[in-house]
Amino acid sequence: MNVQRFKFLRSPVLSRIGTIFSVSLVGLLVIGCGGAPTRVHAYNDYAIRAAQHDLWKEASLRWEQALALDKTDSRIWNNLGVAYESDGRFEDALKSYREAVKLDVGNSQYVRNLRRAEANRERAKAAKEKAAQEVIDESQNDTDDSSDNSIDLDKADDANDDANDE
C-alpha cells in the first residue's frame, strides 16, 4: 500500500477540524450532565480545552455561558479576561479581571493579569496611533511627491498645438 495516498489526512486544516470536533464532542458530553455547579465546571473545562487550541472566541462563549449560571466564580471571570485579552478585547478583559479581583481580593494572579492587560491596552493604543500617524505622513509625502510630477495641461496643449502646426 502506498502511504503517500493518505498524506492529505495530515493537513493542518483537517487537523484543526479534528481538534474542534474533539473539543466539541467532549464538551457536549460533559455539559449535558449534572446541575448548575457541575455545568459551570464543565463549561470551564471545555473552554480551557478550546483556549489551549487557540479557539478564543469559543472559549469566551463557554465562559460567558458559565457566568450566566454563576457570576460569583472568580476563576471564570479571570479566564474570560484571558480569552478577551488574547482576542484583543482589552476593555472587556479589564472588566473581567476587575470582577475577578473584586471576588478574590487576595489572588495575586488576578492582579497581575489586570496589570498586564492595562499595559497591553496602552501598548495596543500607542501602536494604533503610531500606525495612523504613519499613514497620514505617507499620504502627505505622496501629495508632496505628486506636485513635483504633475503635468501642466496648458503646456501640454501648447506642445500639441505646435506639433499640429508643423
Return the domain boundaries, the chain: 12-70, 72-142
Report the alpha-carbon distance of residue 164 to residue 142 in Å, rounded. 35
Pick the CATH number of 72-142 from 1.10.760.10, 3.40.50.10240, 1.25.40.10, 2.70.210.12: 1.25.40.10
Q: Does 24 score more than 70 pLDDT?
A: no
Q: Does 124 score more than 60 pLDDT?
A: yes
Q: Does 156 score more than 80 pLDDT?
A: no
- Percent of the chain whose predicted confidence (pLDDT) is above 70: 63
Q: What is the pLDDT of residue 118?
A: 96
* Cell numbers 471571570: residue: 77
Q: How confident is the model at residue 139 (pLDDT cuts 50, 70, 90)?
A: confident
pTM over 0.75: no
Q: Does 106 score more than 90 pLDDT?
A: yes
Q: Are 89 and 82 spatial neighbours (Cβ–Cβ below 8 Å)? A: no
Q: How confident is the model at residue 5 (pLDDT cuts 50, 70, 90)?
A: very low
Burial of 121 (0-12, 13-18, 19+ CB in 10 A): middle
Q: How confident is the model at residue 137 (pLDDT cuts 50, 70, 90)?
A: confident
CA nearest 89: which of 53, 68, 61, 67? 61
